[in-house]
């Protein structure tokens, strides 16, 4: 679980910000001590959920989607600027 937790945390909090978040150690501890079966179940649930990206263009109310410049997850979103 340590390798998985480390990889996931770098997607959640940039290395530049990691030093400014004292709760990061507690989060890492929680992730490392999570039973692998529980983590696997959560990942299966995420993989099986409906993909809502195609319906975003149909939202007919004012909407703001905020991502950070260093947000690694934005690169998979259609129309995102990955520069």
C-alpha dihedral sign at 55, 61, 67, 69: positive
pLDDT 10s digits, 25-59 = 888 999 999 999 999 999 999 999 998 888 888 99
Mean local confidence (pLDDT), 51-76: 81
- Domain-wise residue ranges, the chain: 2-76
Q: How far is CA 7 from the centre of its chain?
A: 11
Helices (H), 19-72: 24-33, 36-48
Q: Give this prediction's pTM.
A: 0.60
Q: How far is CA 75 from the centre of its chain?
A: 12
* Residue 12: closest CA among 68, 79, 78: 68
């Amino acid at each position: 679980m340590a390798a998985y937790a480390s990889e996931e945390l770098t997607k959640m909090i940039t290395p530049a910000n990691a030093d400014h978040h004292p709760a990061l150690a507690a989060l890492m501890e929680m992730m490392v001590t999570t039973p692998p079966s529980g983590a696997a179940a959560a990942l299966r649930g995420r993989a099986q959920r409906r993909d809502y990206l195609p319906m975003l263009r149909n939202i007919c109310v004012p909407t703001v989607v905020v991502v950070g410049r260093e947000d690694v997850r934005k690169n998979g979103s259609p129309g995102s600027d990955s520069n």
